[in-house]
């Protein structure tokens, strides 16, 4: 009989709800070995092609069964410099785990019993961090004096730091320019610490400085420094500026007080330390009847953060409700995040479409007028379209709303560079084979190209761009 997947330890709801501590623990060595030995080392391992950066999953799992931790680290590091980050936040159930032989064919996402590849990857990354394992990466014999080349990366999210990691391993000088005061992009300002502790994030990014990567924070390219100045100094530029602009519902009353975009709300908590109340007195309103609108990862993060914000501000009779236009089946958020949100007490109302925000005499939001929906035919995303039901209007009471219905291209840079071609949504247009933009030797990748995506997809685009840059320089 097949052994079931080894489940990780998690904080109980009582242990986690009053703080921002990491919820899911990593495997112990014993648990790791139990899980690694469930892998049947397939002849034709589909898990590898299921990983957007094609980590040799079969090999690193075998190395783990042999307790060859350095070897496993080398195997992963060759393809991905951020195992502790990806092991925590990659949507593996739609990627490597979905392709694992233990998931039945045509299943929309991974079976419970697929090998828990991300937790094994996390084990390796955490082991490397705890034991200060480093690697002297020099992938190819250098054919030229690569130190003559200089590359600038704009933004420090997963796409840019991947480019920096790939190129610096070839001895190229990479400088990263980040608008915020801290590195990591969404990993830093968006994803809460209970999913991705900041020591883990910063450790893996800072390892790049061993390869000579230099980071410049608080630099907005297009404002603080012009794109054209960088163009004069660097042999190639990579743009990884992400999709940081919120999408709004564009309904009446949306500018009322206490209606936040999820990005602003999460930034106030993650970067402005609202999670450290009372040590920090960050300007943020903490509602009692909070409503989060949306069904993706951002909505789940916002809801779970909002719940914790109520508790640390001693609001013990508060409530957080997620409104979503479709049903749970169509929610794009990771299943594990939906489960965690439910366990923690987040309530859900499905098939509901907000049509107007209602304000009180002081201009503060006090209610949301909504319509009930039913599911119609599938739309261009393949999911069944929500169709509002006539005369189904009702009002939900609220005192704080977080709008988390999507993100759009951050156009601060592209607005200042007229030669840079973008599409109607502001995403930068690239040659999909090379990731080169309409400007020669200027590349782009991540959410600024593909729209809101995933961390590993952004990394995969970064890898492709780095390869093209190396080819352009004649180094591979």
Residue 389 makes contact with ligand SF4 by CB under 6 A: no
Residue 230 makes contact with ligand FAD by CB under 6 A: no
In the numeric block, the tokens 């499905």 are attached to 350
Of 93-152, which residues contact ligand SF4 (CB under 6 A)?
100-102, 115, 117
Q: Is the bond preceding 61 in cis, omega lying within 30 degrees of 0?
A: no
Among 125, 447, 460, 470, binds ligand FAD (CB under 6 A): 447
Q: How near is the Cβ of 60 to ligand SF4 at its closest, in Å?
A: 10
Q: DSSP assignment, residue 35? A: H
Q: How near is the Cβ of 106 to ligand SF4 at its closest, in Å?
A: 16
What is the distance, to the nearest Å, from the Cα of residue 433 to the centroid of all Cα atoms in its chain? Answer: 24
Candidates 35-43, 245-253, 309-317, 467-475; binding stretch for ligand SF4 (CB under 6 A): 35-43
SS3 content of the chain, % helix, strand, coil (to 5): 35, 20, 45
> Is the Cβ of residue 57 or residue 435 nearer to ligand FAD in the bound state?
435
Q: DSSP assignment, residue 399? A: S
Which listed option, ligand SF4, ligand FAD, none, makes contact with residue 240 (CB within 5 to 8 Å by class)?
Answer: ligand FAD
Residue 37 makes contact with ligand SF4 by CB under 6 A: no
Residue 411 makes contact with ligand FAD by CB under 6 A: no
CA distance 262 to 296: 11
Cross-sheet strand order for the sheet of 259-261: 259-261, 400-403, 289-293, 319-323, 347-349
Residue 40 makes contact with ligand SF4 by CB under 6 A: yes
Note the maximum CA span of the chain.
72
Q: How near is the Cβ of 322 to ligand SF4 at its closest, in Å?
A: 33
CA distance 384 to 68: 47
Among 17, 32, 36, 45, binds ligand SF4 (CB under 6 A): 45
Residue 46 makes contact with ligand SF4 by CB under 6 A: yes
Which listed option, ligand SF4, ligand FAD, none, makes contact with residue 298 (CB within 5 to 8 Å by class)?
Answer: ligand FAD
Helices 57-65 and 117-130, packing angle to 10 deg: 60
Q: DSSP assignment, residue 4? A: P
Residue 51 makes contact with ligand SF4 by CB under 6 A: no
Which listed option, ligand SF4, ligand FAD, none, makes contact with residue 41 (CB within 5 to 8 Å by class)?
Answer: ligand SF4
CA distance 23 to 187: 16
Residue 92 makes contact with ligand SF4 by CB under 6 A: no
Of 103-132, which residues contact ligand FAD (CB under 6 A)?
none
User: Which residue from 270, 193, 177, 273 is spatially nearest to 231, judged by alpha carbons?
Assistant: 177
Structure tokens at 454: 């995933």
Structure tokens at 44: 């034709």
Residue 430 makes contact with ligand FAD by CB under 6 A: no
User: Which residue from 188, 270, 192 is spatially nearest to 22, judged by alpha carbons?
Assistant: 192
> Is the Cβ of residue 212 or residue 451 nearer to ligand FAD in the bound state?
451
Which listed option, ligand SF4, ligand FAD, none, makes contact with residue 295 (CB within 5 to 8 Å by class)?
Answer: none
Structure tokens at 196: 């991705």
Residue 57 makes contact with ligand SF4 by CB under 6 A: yes
Residue 460 makes contact with ligand FAD by CB under 6 A: no
Q: How many other CB atoms sit within 10 Å of the CB of residue 363? A: 11
CA distance 27 to 10: 10
The answer to whether the beta carbons of residues 324 and 331 sit under 8 Å apart is yes
> Is the Cβ of residue 62 or residue 194 nearer to ligand SF4 in the bound state?
62
User: Which residue from 327, 394, 344 is spatially nearest to 367, judged by alpha carbons?
Assistant: 394
Residue 90 makes contact with ligand FAD by CB under 6 A: yes
281 beta partners: none
Q: Which residues contact 463 (CB under 8 A, 6 or more apart)?
A: 53, 162, 163, 166
In the numeric block, the tokens 């759009």 are attached to 408
Q: How near is the Cβ of 281 to ligand SF4 at its closest, in Å?
A: 48
Q: Give how many residues touch ligand FAD by CB under 6 A.
A: 41
Residue 41 makes contact with ligand SF4 by CB under 6 A: yes
Which listed option, ligand FAD, ligand SF4, none, makes contact with residue 72 (CB within 5 to 8 Å by class)?
Answer: none
Q: What DSSP element (H or E) covers 324?
A: none
Candidates 84-92, 126-134, 312-320, 356-364; binding stretch for ligand FAD (CB under 6 A): 84-92
Q: How near is the Cβ of 84 to ligand SF4 at its closest, in Å?
A: 19
> Is the Cβ of residue 45 or residue 253 nearer to ligand SF4 in the bound state?
45
Residue numbers of the site for ligand SF4 (CB under 6 A)?
Answer: 39-42, 45-47, 57-58, 61, 100-102, 115, 117
Residue ranges binding ligand FAD (CB under 6 A): 89-91, 154-160, 177-180, 185-186, 190-191, 220-222, 240-242, 244, 266, 297-298, 301, 407, 410, 412-413, 446-448, 453-456, 458
């Amino acid at each position: 009989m097949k052994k079931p997947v080894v489940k990780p330890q998690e904080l109980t709801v009582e242990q986690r709800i009053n703080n921002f501590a990491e919820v899911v623990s990593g495997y112990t060595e014993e648990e790791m070995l139990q899980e690694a030995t469930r892998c049947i080392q397939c002849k034709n391992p589909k898990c590898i092609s299921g990983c957007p950066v094609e980590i040799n999953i079969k090999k690193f799992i075998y190395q783990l069964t042999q307790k060859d931790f350095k070897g496993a680290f080398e195997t992963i590091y060759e393809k991905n410099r951020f195992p502790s980050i990806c092991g925590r936040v990659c949507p593996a159930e739609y990627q490597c785990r979905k392709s694992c032989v233990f998931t039945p064919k045509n299943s929309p996402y991974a079976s419970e019993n697929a090998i828990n590849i991300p937790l094994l990857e996390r084990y390796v990354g955490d082991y490397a961090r705890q034991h200060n394992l480093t690697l002297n990466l020099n992938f190819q014999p250098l054919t030229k004096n690569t130190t003559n080349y200089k590359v600038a990366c704009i933004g420090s999210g997963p796409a840019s730091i991947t480019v920096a990691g790939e190129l610096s391993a070839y001895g190229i000088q990479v400088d990263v320019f980040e608008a915020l005061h801290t590195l990591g992009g969404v990993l830093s300002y968006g994803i809460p610490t209970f999913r991705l502790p900041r020591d883990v994030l910063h450790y893996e990014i800072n390892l790049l400085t061993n390869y000579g990567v230099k980071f410049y924070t608080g630099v907005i390219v297009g404002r603080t420094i012009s794109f054209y100045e960088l163009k004069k100094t660097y042999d190639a530029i990579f743009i990884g500026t992400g999709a940081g602009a919120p999408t709004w519902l564009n309904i009446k009353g949306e500018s009322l007080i206490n209606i936040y975009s999820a990005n602003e709300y999460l930034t106030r908590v993650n970067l402005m330390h609202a999670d450290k109340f009372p040590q920090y007195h960050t300007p943020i309103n903490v509602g009692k009847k909070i409503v989060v609108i949306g069904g993706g990862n951002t909505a789940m993060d916002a809801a779970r953060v909002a719940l914790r914000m109520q508790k640390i501000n001693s609001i013990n009779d508060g409530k957080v409700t997620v409104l979503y236009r479709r049903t749970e089946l169509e929610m794009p958020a990771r299943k594990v995040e939906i489960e965690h949100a439910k366990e923690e007490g987040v309530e859900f109302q499905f098939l509901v479409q907000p049509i107007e925000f209602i304000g009180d005499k002081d201009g503060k939001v006090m209610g949301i007028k909504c319509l009930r929906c039913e599911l119609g035919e599938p739309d261009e995303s393949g999911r069944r379209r929500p169709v509002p039901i006539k005369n189904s209007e009702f009002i939900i009471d609220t005192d704080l709303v977080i709008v988390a219905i999507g993100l759009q291209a951050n156009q601060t840079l592209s607005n200042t560079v007229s030669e840079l071609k973008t599409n109607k949504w502001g995403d930068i247009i690239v040659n999909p084979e090379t990731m080169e933009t309409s400007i020669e030797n200027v590349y782009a990748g991540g959410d600024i190209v593909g729209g809101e995506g995933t961390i590993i997809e952004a990394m995969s685009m970064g890898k492709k761009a780095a390869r093209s840059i190396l080819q352009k320089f004649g180094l591979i």
